[in-house]
Structures are given as C-alpha cells and as structure tokens.
Amino acid sequence: MFKFLKKIPKPSPESQTALPKYSEEELEKFKQELEDLLQVKEEHLDDAQYFEKLGLLYAQVSQEEEAIKNLEKSLSIKLSMGDGYKKLMSLYNQKRREAARSHDDELIEYYMGKMDDMRNIAKKVTLTAKED
C-alpha cells in the first residue's frame, strides 16, 4: 500500500558506466569511418562538425580521451548544444564518477569544473539563440 517506504534498489556502478554494446561488425564500421575521417583531417582544421563527428566516433569505439579531445576542439571552434555537447558532458560525468570511486578529490574537482564550463556554454548558446 505504501510504496514510498520501500527501499528501491540502486543500480550497480557497472551498469551506470556501461557503454552500449556494439557488434564486431558495428565496431569495424566505426573504426573504418574514423580512418576515413582521419585521412582528410588537414582539410577540416576549422570545421567544428568534423571534430564533433570524430569525437563521437572515438566515443563509440571506447577511446574516451580522444573523444574528449576532439569534442572539446569542436566546441572551441563553434559553441553548440548538439550531440557532441551531450556526449562530452556524459564523458565528463563518467570521468568524475571514476574519480569519486578512486577517491581522487583533485580529479573530482577538475571534472566538476569541466561540467561547470559546459553549463556556461549552454547558457551562452541559449542567450545568443534568444537574441537572433
């Protein structure tokens, strides 16, 4: 009758950070896309969408550090709140959780600062959209 008194089981830490499971075929496709994009990198050094796509592909093949680097590069070229923004916020949160599990206060603070920077980007994008 009173469900609010019952304890709700918490999801395990492994399930919270689990990446989507991709088949070997899908992973090979992502890796091929990555290789194709990397071959034309010199042509796209000022292209935010290029770095966003590159970062998203790195995230799909579980290369988080490269994903973060490319997604940050994308946002440094052009602020947006697209898929790259969302993935980067997710990666920062994942890194913050890992730091919390390992009791690394300095790293926790670092990723909290990164997440604050992301919220500031959201504010800027929202304000500039209202002005247009």
Q: Over the stretch 73-88, which tens digit does the pLDDT of each residue have?
A: 999 999 999 999 999 9
Angstrom distance (rounded) from CA 87 to CA 90 = 5
Per residue in 9-36, pLDDT tens?
A: 655 554 444 456 788 898 889 889 988 8
Q: Show the domains of the chain with their CATH numbers.
A: 23-131 (1.25.40.10)
The model's pTM? 0.77
Query: Is residue 52 a contact partner of residue 71, using CB atoms and an 8 Å limit?
Result: yes
Q: Which amino acid is at 47?
A: D
Kind and range of the H or E run holding 110: helix 105-131
What is the reported pLDDT for 44?
Answer: 87
DSSP letters for 73-91: HHHHHS---SHHHHHHHHH
**What is residue 43's DSSP assignment?**
G
Angstrom distance (rounded) from CA 85 to CA 68 = 10
